[in-house]
Amino acid sequence: MLRLRLNQLWTLTLAGILAGTILAAAALPASVLAAVGLKSIGARYEDLPQDLRTPPTAQRSYLFAADGRTPITSFYDENRTNVPLSQVAEVMRQATVAAEDARFYSHGGVDLKGVLRAAVANRVGGEVRQGASTLTMQYVRNVLKSDPGLTAKQRAEATETSAGRKIQEMRYALALERRLSKDEILSRYLNIAYFGAGAYGVAAASQRYFSKPAGQLTLAEAALLAGLVRSPETDSPIGGDTEAALARRGYVLRQMAETGVISAEAATRTQSEPIRLRPGAEPNDCAGIPDGRSDWGFFCDYFRQWWNANPAFGLTVDERQQTLRRGGYRITTSLDPAIQATALRQTLTVYDYADRRAAPMAVVQPGTGRVLAMAVNRHYSLDPNPRGQRNHPNTVNQLIAGGGGIDGYQAGSTFKIFTMLAALEEGMPLASGYLAPSRLVTSYPVDGPNACGGYWCPANANPEWMNGHRTMWTAFGRSVNTYFVALQQRIGADRVVRMAERLGIVFRADNDARLATYGAEGWGAFTLGVSASTPLDLANAYATLAAEGTYCKPLPVLSIVDATGRALPAAAPSCGKMLRAEVARAATDAARCPVGGQSAYAQCDGGSAPEVTRILGDQPVAGKTGSAEGYATETFVGFTPQLAAAAIAANPDDPSDAVGQPVQRKVIAAVATTMATALKGSPRRDFTPPGREIAFGDGPDDLGPAPAGPGPDPFAPAPVVPAPVPTPPAPAPTAVVPRPTPPPVPPRPTATVPRPVRPVPTSPRPGVVPRPTPPAPPPPTSR
């Protein structure tokens, strides 16, 4: 034992002295020797920095489609993927050892012969020409300088040319050699070394230079890579010096011949070959997705939003981004390539890439919240657009899920579902009848030219098709504005707003957020869909009905596996029961009416999108159309037990640019065809019908459809207008569509949202709080 410690002391002391010689020092400085100390001849493994025991090598994270094989992109600060030594070609291992440390398998971490040789060479040359660093010492240096927590000064100190730094490397190398096998050290070295052209580690280098795995490298390829680690940037044949790369390859081949791992003839023959590169560029981030799949960038962007908002990956957004870009995760997303391709094709039937208007679409899986597709007629790209075009054809703005400056788009009558759900939850049955007038004078005080005596008075667009005695079934099918405004007035607009929030509607626009927080009770127009929303929010809200009341947060992943092979629980769906199953079933039953289907009790009587049932064929389907004021946007949401999809036609750059009524048919067909294609070959799944109690109630007046014609209003609120206000004549409908048999597709009803009397306060107060808006716009059209 004493002899061993003396040998270690002699080795370290001599190495230190020679290290100083290499650095043109006369001898090991006394201060350095004192700092080393006799008790720390070779540092113990347990005393090593944690980084050396568990290397913090940054690794690239991979993003795959739902099949687990189709790559989407990757995320990295350093292009690196660690691989075991068994996945590295033997010639690559041999070339590395021959070039960098021929005595690697015979020394204990510090090669005294190499130190002496370097000392003599440097003394003769009068400058530092050889460094005598073993592979183990080089590995130590790479680890110390790769710590992401280092400052620029600390990084410089870790790589400075000094006797002190060399002594430290030697001490750490001796400790590592006592604990790790030679193959483990070589494996770690090959995974951390930089090979130039942005490639860290042998796996990334093999792909970068030759587009192949490290296990398939040839002798010529291995010799080239092994020669790059000395001066990776200047010697790289990619953007560097091909002649220098050839010279370094020749040196490595000669070293391999001298050490006996190849013959001299093989070295000569291989050196005569030209350098044959097949460069491969690894995509980085969402904008780096290869051409041909640029539409996947919007899904990728949403995944990144989800990751950055998830505390499972770090305490701050910066920490979460570093975790993704350095953690070496293998992430299988929920993106279904087939459904994505269909959704994109259908989106392009509404508008093409060059159109200033857009038709973003999202497809969601009920019961999990997993996002199956996100398509829009845009390229996800940082490339500049033609002069005067802001978001087309290229953009990185999140047009489908919102965020990043995109608040969303008004979704029209699709929001009537939240009023119906709130009423059902309050105990009102689907058969709740109301004699819907052409125009309804409400209790919401407003002013402006479209007010009726100081109160908001929305109207239906087509009196002949929409007025009259309605139930939730027929009012939802025909999208009768005055029915749902009266229904909302009965139960309270604040309850409707809260229902929307429970089902995942996010108020991204500042004014919407203020109203939802402080003015929900007076937000009379909320049921007509005046709040900005997104296709993803809408599809996921309606998916809650398909899942019989179970709401799941939107989720873009199927699995996340870290660099050690451990599956992370963050990939699991996050779901909760937001509605009683009977409430969800009842709302679904009414949602059969707009799409041309029939409710469980045959109560539907016309719908605004009858072609949906024809397109879906044997698959039961439900859904709702919606239009914003003046046909500024057109929306359709459809769902089956297996999936939900939504699309909105709008101009993301100019909300005042109305898309017009005719495009609604294209939007409906695009969503329905996407659903039908996605479900092709799937077994039929029926909706569960609601019970008779929630359908018809238990009173004598609710046991079946109410008679048509005038009658008492079973859910009208007590009048709050001081004096009777005469109802003005109904405005001319957008288009007069007589009620045929079978009913044709009618135009959307119109509702007017005038300017309120006063702005919304910054803190809650009792009473009705009207919604602040600009001067009265044209009447909102909603169906």
Taking the CA atoms of the chain, what radius of gyration do you get in angstroms?
35
Tokens standing for 697? 């109630």
User: At 170, is the pLDDT very low, low, confident or very high (cuts 50, 70, 90)?
Assistant: confident
* E strand segments, 14-91: 61-64, 71-75
Which CATH number is 173's domain given? 1.10.3810.10
Locus of tokens 């092994």: 226
Q: If you count them, how many residues does the chain have?
A: 783
Q: Is residue 471 part of a domain?
A: yes
Q: Is residue 389 part of a domain?
A: no
Shared domain check, 455 and 326 = yes
Q: Is residue 38 part of a domain?
A: yes
Between 94 and 735, name the one with better pLDDT: 94
Which CATH number is 347's domain given? 3.40.710.10
Shared domain check, 360 and 250 = no
**Which burial class, exposed, middle or buried, applies to 355 when counting CB atoms under 10 A from its CB (0-12, 13-18, 19+)?**
middle
Q: Averaged over 196-219, what is the pLDDT?
A: 96
Shared domain check, 323 and 267 = no
**What tens digit of pLDDT does each residue of 256-266 get?**
999 999 999 99
Residue 451 · residue 521 · CB < 8 Å: no
**What tens digit of pLDDT does each residue of 330-364 get?**
999 999 999 999 999 999 999 999 999 999 999 99
Give percent above pLDDT 90 in the chain: 67
Tokens standing for 721? 């207008």
Cross-strand partners of 342: none
Q: How many CB atoms lie within 10 A of CB 703?
A: 13
User: At 29, is the pLDDT very low, low, confident or very high (cuts 50, 70, 90)?
Assistant: very low
Tokens standing for 681? 């070959």
What is the number of alpha carbons within 13 Å of residue 471 lying toward its C-beta? Answer: 32
| Helix-helix angle 182-192:90-100, to 10 degrees | 90
CA nearest neighbour of 175 among 2, 3, 55, 53: 53
Q: Is residue 388 part of a domain?
A: no
Cross-strand partners of 364: 371, 644
The pairing of beta strand 394-395 with beta strand 379-380 = parallel
Shared domain check, 357 and 212 = no
Tokens standing for 376? 């829009």
pLDDT at 310: 97
Domain holding 82, by residue range, is 2-271
pLDDT at 366: 99
Give percent above pLDDT 70 in the chain: 78
For residue 441, is pLDDT > 90?
yes
- Longest CA–CA separation in the chain, Å: 113
User: At 387, is the pLDDT very low, low, confident or very high (cuts 50, 70, 90)?
Assistant: confident
**What tens digit of pLDDT does each residue of 521-573 get?**
999 999 999 999 999 999 999 999 999 999 999 999 999 999 999 999 999 99
Residue 344 · residue 354 · CB < 8 Å: no
CA nearest neighbour of 322 among 674, 560, 76: 76
For residue 724, is pLDDT > 80?
no
Structural domains in the chain (count) = 2
Shared domain check, 466 and 531 = yes
pLDDT at 150: 58
Q: Is residue 363 part of a domain?
A: yes
- For the chain, helix (H) and strand (E) counts, in that order, are 27, 17
Q: What is the pTM of this model?
A: 0.81
CA nearest neighbour of 377 among 362, 356, 403, 401: 356
pLDDT at 271: 96
For residue 778, is pLDDT > 50?
no
Cα angle 346, 348, 352; round to 5: 170
Q: Is residue 394 part of a domain?
A: no
For residue 474, is pLDDT > 50?
yes
For residue 491, is pLDDT > 80?
yes
Whether omega before 393 lies within 30 degrees of 0, making that bond cis, reads yes
Shared domain check, 221 and 365 = no
**Average pLDDT value for the chain:** 83
Q: Is residue 309 part of a domain?
A: yes
CA separation for the pair 500, 637 (Å, rounded):
15
Shared domain check, 319 and 248 = no
Q: Phi first, then psi: what are they for 502, rounded to 5°? A: -60, -30
**Which burial class, exposed, middle or buried, applies to 748 when counting CB atoms under 10 A from its CB (0-12, 13-18, 19+)?**
buried
For residue 711, is pLDDT > 60?
no
Q: Phi first, then psi: what are they for 244, rounded to 5°? A: -65, -40
Shared domain check, 370 and 232 = no
Q: Averaged over 240-244, what is the pLDDT?
A: 86
Whether omega before 742 lies within 30 degrees of 0, making that bond cis, reads yes
C-alpha distances in Å from residue 127, one per residue of 28, 121, 169: 17, 9, 21
Q: Phi first, then psi: what are they for 426, rounded to 5°? A: -80, -5
Q: Averaged over 749-757, what is the pLDDT?
A: 37
Q: How many CB atoms lie within 10 A of CB 758?
A: 11
Between 190 and 743, name the one with better pLDDT: 190
C-alpha distances in Å from residue 664, one per residue of 473, 527, 621, 632, 649: 22, 20, 18, 11, 8
User: At 2, is the pLDDT very low, low, confident or very high (cuts 50, 70, 90)?
Assistant: very low
For residue 774, is pLDDT > 90?
no
Shared domain check, 248 and 355 = no
Shared domain check, 725 and 694 = yes
Q: Is residue 549 part of a domain?
A: yes
Q: Averaged over 284-294, what is the pLDDT?
A: 90
Shared domain check, 468 and 558 = yes
For residue 181, is pLDDT > 70?
yes
pLDDT at 98: 96
User: Can you give 262-324 as a three-state secondary structure string?
Assistant: CCHHHHHHHHCCCCCCCCCCCCCCHHHCCCCCCCHHHHHHHHHHHHHCCHHHCCCHHHHHHHH
